[in-house]
């Protein structure tokens, strides 16, 4: 093979007649969101099994662009690319304690000898195992390793195409440092890289405080692309900049005024709560109407079975204000459970001696009670009396019942006071595209990844881990950039930048001009598509809109005047450009388009 085979002969370009991009006229029935629908309709991917997709040429090119951006931003921060195995011995997961914690999401398999393995959902264990062998001195750090590979999670509910898939592409990075300061510096670098990544992909994004979940560790933030159909709910404060996933958003104690007021009305019944006969009252609404108290002066108790990592189950009771929702993630974290399941009505009856609507915390035995901060510090509340059709008014934690463990348990939402500055919070939905954790010594301690300092002392390596969902990012880009007609690719992620569309293709002059322009664009390094199909102009235009090329050149009637029409997909603006100037103009537009989202 001659060296010529390896020479670069212009940019990638393709003819529509040879492109495998099977477009669909109708919305596929399985599609749940705009990105899911358009990724199928524009022929970017096809479903093989639930949450498992084949990416066709256009989908693969878009993914490659997202990967290229993420690699550039990692490399800019001095990270080093590796490639870690997707098949991992399960024993590493047993060693870290996560085999049990991850539960059924961990995709397990056996080799021919019956040895247990898992398909990689993430790589903390593999990295920790690697570095406990290879990194032993303070001189070898700081170090940030990353790779871009498939991940496997046997999600209970795969959803919305690649948004929540069972096989997906993730960029994951792992920072290794000597101490907390080093970790903070690495974390800051990655935060910058993620911000640049999101901006370059054309996302409208926010960084929010997140829930550490099963992974453990200290600081954790998510990068959320705002999208109406996103799964993530966030709250944010316009005044001080606080932003958090609602899974995590802090509820806190009642406002100072409310606390004083509550203390006062509890004082009215200083001797203790008042018993009230409440026949037929089952819900908070009914209690409010019957007893004439606002919902904020009532409190409800919820019972759960908490399943712990070792498979041990424990009955848990959570007390929150009647007008609040319990945040199950906070409760799960507070009791250290890997799963929560609502207890049954009979179980509540057996435990408290009362049906669900009359159950309460007074004298509660046989369940681990947790009380939300607002109730614990909020004075008197109307609560169930643990006797059918009876309630207590003005019951106060600490005086009338033992609050058990006091914790922040409630779900925070729009209008609630900001935990930092007390201004009302706003709420939005979005897609979590990136997530970073300052792990500290969680894994290095458990798995024995130690290094020696310059004095010969031994310490656990301080670690951080950082993930970006590459395929999910692609879906987020389409959620953000589409209209009724199809995708509107930002230049940075577009599979190709321009489509050359000859109309009246039967005409030799038109065909030759289009072929010539296509060849020139290609030679000039422009990623171009030639719509050489024998189709009516309307069909070609419709497909160009669906496929979302940022630019379209129509070669047709204006040729008589030596011109072609250049159209921008984003705003539909058109201009006539002289044939001789069109390659230079397109190059300029592509460069500007790529520059638009460069931070």
* Residues in contact with ligand ATP by the rule CB under 6 A: 122, 153, 155, 164-165, 168, 170, 432-435, 467, 469, 471-472
- Shorter beta-carbon distance to ligand ATP: residue 58 or 470: 470
- Residues with Cβ within 8 Å of residue 12, at least 6 apart in sequence: 61, 496, 527
Report the residue number, 167 or 545, with the smaller CB distance to ligand ATP: 167
CB closer to ligand ATP out of 432 and 532: 432
Strands 13-15 and 528-530: parallel
Between 65 and 164, name the residue whose CB sits nearer to ligand ATP.
164
DSSP assignment, residue 318? E
Q: Which of 527, 506, 511 is nearest to 14 (CA)?
A: 527
CA 308 to chain centroid, in Å, comes to 25
Of residues 458, 453, 439, the one with CA closest to residue 141:
453
Give min distance, CB of 241 to ligand ATP, in A: 21
- Crossing angle, helix 508-523 and helix 582-596, to 10 degrees? 50
Name which of 433 and 553 has its Cβ closer to ligand ATP: 433
| Closer CB to ligand ATP, 152 or 303, in the complex | 152
Residue 332 or 404: which CB sits closer to ligand ATP?
332
**Pick from Mg ion, ligand ATP, none: which does 401 bind, CB < 5 to 8 A by kind?**
none
CB of 459 to ligand ATP, least distance (A): 27
Q: How far is the CB of 172 from ligand ATP (least distance, A)?
A: 7
Q: What is the closest distance, in whole angstroms, from the C-beta atom of residue 302 to ligand ATP in the complex?
A: 23
Residue whose tokens read 């310490």: 459
If binding means CB under 5 A, how many residues of this protein chain bind Mg ion?
A: 1
SS3 185: helix
Residue of minimal Cβ distance to Mg ion: 435
- Shortest distance, position 342 Cβ to ligand ATP, whole Å: 21
Stretch that binds Mg ion, among 122-130, 278-286, 333-341, 432-440 (CB under 5 A): 432-440
Q: Does 41 bind Mg ion (CB under 5 A)?
A: no
Q: Smallest gap, in angstroms, from Cβ of residue 212 to ligand ATP?
A: 10
Q: How far apart are CA 406 and CA 333, in angstroms?
A: 13
Q: Which does 433 bind (CB under 5 to 8 A by kind): ligand ATP, Mg ion, none?
A: ligand ATP
User: From residue 289, how far is each of 286, 375, 384 by CA, in Å?
Assistant: 5, 21, 15
Q: With contacts defined by CB under 5 A, name the span among 16-24, 152-160, 252-260, 429-437 that binds Mg ion.
A: 429-437
Smallest gap from Cβ 407 to ligand ATP, in A, equals: 22
By the rule CB under 5 A, 435 interacts with Mg ion: yes
Q: Which does 230 bind (CB under 5 to 8 A by kind): Mg ion, ligand ATP, none?
A: none
CB 489 within 8 A of CB 481: yes
> Cα–Cα distance between 424 and 217 in angstroms, integer?
29
User: Which of Mg ion, ligand ATP, none does 123 bind, CB closer than 5 to 8 A by kind?
Assistant: none
Alpha-carbon gap, residue 192 to 189, rounded angstroms: 5
Q: Which is nearer to Mg ion, 171 or 435 (CB)?
A: 435
Rounded Cα distance, 462 and 453, in Å? 13
CA distance 203 to 431: 10
Q: In the bound complex, what is the minimum distance in angstroms from residue 186's beta carbon to ligand ATP?
A: 17
The item of ligand ATP, Mg ion, none sharing an interface with residue 434, based on CB under 5 to 8 Å by kind, is ligand ATP
Cβ-based burial of 2 (10 A; exposed 0-12, middle 13-18, buried ≥19): exposed
Interface stretch with Mg ion, choices 145-153, 298-306, 428-436, 558-566 (CB under 5 A): 428-436
On whether the CB atoms of residues 554 and 565 are closer than 8 A, the answer is yes
Q: Write down the least CB distance from residue 153 to Mg ion, Å.
A: 11
Q: Name the residue nearer to ligand ATP (CB basis): 469 or 556.
A: 469
Q: Do residues 491 and 594 make contact, with C-beta atoms less than 8 angstroms apart?
A: yes
Query: Which of left, alpha, beta for 488 (phi over 0: left; psi -120 to 50: alpha)?
Result: beta
Q: Which two tokens stand for residue 551?
A: 């630019």
The item of Mg ion, ligand ATP, none sharing an interface with residue 13, based on CB under 5 to 8 Å by kind, is none
- Please state the closest distance from residue 217 (CB atom) to ligand ATP, in A: 11
Q: Which helix (H) or strand (E) holds 517?
A: helix 508-523
Q: Which residue is nearest to ligand ATP (CB)?
A: 469
CA 64 to chain centre: 20
Looking at the Cβ atoms of 107 and 390, the one nearer to ligand ATP is 107
Contact residues toward Mg ion (CB under 5 A) are: 435
């Amino acid at each position: 093979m001659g060296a010529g085979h390896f020479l670069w002969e212009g940019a990638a370009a393709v003819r529509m007649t040879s492109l495998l991009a099977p477009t669909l006229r109708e919305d596929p029935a399985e599609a749940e969101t705009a990105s899911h629908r358009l990724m199928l309709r524009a022929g970017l991917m096809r479903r093989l099994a639930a949450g498992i997709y084949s990416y066709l040429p256009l989908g693969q090119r878009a993914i490659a662009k997202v990967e290229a951006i993420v690699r550039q931003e990692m490399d800019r921060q001095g990270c080093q690319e590796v490639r870690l195995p997707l098949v991992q011995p399960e024993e590493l997961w047993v060693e870290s304690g996560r085999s049990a914690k991850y539960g059924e999401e961990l995709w397990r398999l056996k080799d021919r000898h019956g040895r247990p393995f898992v398909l990689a959902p993430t790589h903390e264990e593999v990295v920790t195992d690697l570095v406990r062998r290879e990194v032993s001195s303070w001189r070898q750090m700081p170090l940030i390793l990353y790779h871009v590979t498939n991940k496997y999670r046997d999600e209970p509910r795969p959803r919305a195409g690649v948004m929540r898939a069972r096989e997906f592409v993730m960029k994951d990075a792992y920072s290794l440092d000597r101490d907390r300061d080093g970790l903070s510096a690495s974390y800051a670098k990655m935060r910058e890289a993620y911000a640049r990544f999101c901006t370059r992909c054309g996302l409208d994004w926010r960084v929010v405080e997140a829930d550490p979940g099963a992974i453990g560790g200290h600081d954790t933030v998510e990068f959320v692309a705002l999208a109406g159909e996103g799964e993530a709910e966030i709250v944010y404060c316009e005044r001080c900049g606080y932003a958090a996933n609602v899974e995590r958003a802090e509820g806190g104690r009642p406002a100072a005024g409310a606390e004083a007021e509550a203390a006062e009305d509890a004082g009215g019944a200083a001797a203790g709560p008042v018993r009230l006969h409440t026949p037929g009252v089952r819900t908070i609404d009914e209690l409010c109407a019957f007893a004439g108290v606002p919902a904020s002066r009532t409190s409800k108790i919820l019972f759960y079975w908490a399943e712990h990592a070792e498979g041990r189950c424990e009955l848990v009771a959570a007390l929150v204000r009647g007008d609040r929702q319990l945040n199950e993630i906070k409760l799960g974290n507070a009791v250290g459970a890997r799963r929560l399941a609502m207890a049954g009505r009979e179980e509540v009856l057996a435990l408290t001696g009362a049906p669900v609507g009359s159950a309460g915390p007074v004298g509660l035995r046989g369940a681990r009670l947790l009380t939300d901060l607002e109730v614990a510090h909020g004075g008197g509340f109307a609560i169930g009396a643990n006797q059918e059709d009876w309630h207590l008014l003005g019951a106060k934690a600490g005086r009338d019942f033992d609050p058990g463990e006091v914790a922040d348990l409630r779900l925070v939402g729009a209008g609630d006071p900001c935990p930092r500055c007390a201004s009302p919070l706003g709420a939005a939905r979005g897609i979590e595209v990136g997530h970073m954790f300052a792990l500290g010594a969680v894994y290095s301690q458990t798995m024995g990844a130690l290094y020696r300092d310059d004095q010969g002392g031994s310490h656990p390596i301080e670690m951080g881990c950082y993930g970006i969902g590459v395929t999910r990012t692609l879906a987020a880009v389409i959620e953000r950039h589409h209209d009724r007609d199809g995708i509107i690719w930002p230049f940075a992620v577009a599979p190709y930048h321009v489509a050359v569309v000859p109309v009246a293709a039967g005409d030799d002059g038109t065909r030759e001009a289009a072929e010539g322009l296509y060849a020139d664009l290609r030679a000039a390094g422009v990623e171009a598509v030639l719509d050489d199909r024998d189709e009516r102009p309307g069909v070609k235009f419709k497909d160009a809109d669906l496929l979302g090329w940022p630019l379209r050149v129509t070669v047709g009637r204006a040729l008589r005047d030596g011109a072609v029409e250049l159209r921008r997909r984003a705003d539909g603006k058109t201009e006539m450009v002289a044939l001789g100037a069109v390659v230079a103009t397109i190059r300029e537009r592509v460069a500007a388009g790529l520059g638009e989202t460069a931070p």
